[in-house]
Amino acid sequence: MAPIQKPVSAPKIYSRARAIEDGELIDVTETAAREGFTVPVAFTRSAYLKAVIDAIEWMRFADDVSEELQREGVLDMIHFYVVQAPPADRYAVAFDIAAGRVAFEVVCGTDDDGGTCVTITLATDRP
Q: Would you list the domain boundaries of the chain?
A: 16-125
Q: How far is CA 90 from CA 23, 61, 72, in A?
A: 23, 35, 21
Q: Half-sphere exposure of residue 108, counting CA atoms within 13 Å on the CB side?
A: 14
CA distances from 55 to 19, 103, 122 (A): 24, 14, 14
Q: Is the pTM here over 0.85, yes or no?
A: no
Taking the C-alpha atoms of residue 47 and residue 49, their distance in angstroms, rounded to an integer, is 5
96 strand-pairing partners: 101
Minimum mean pLDDT among 5-9, 32-36, 65-69, 102-106: which range? Answer: 5-9
Interval 46-61: pLDDT, tens:
999 888 887 767 666 6
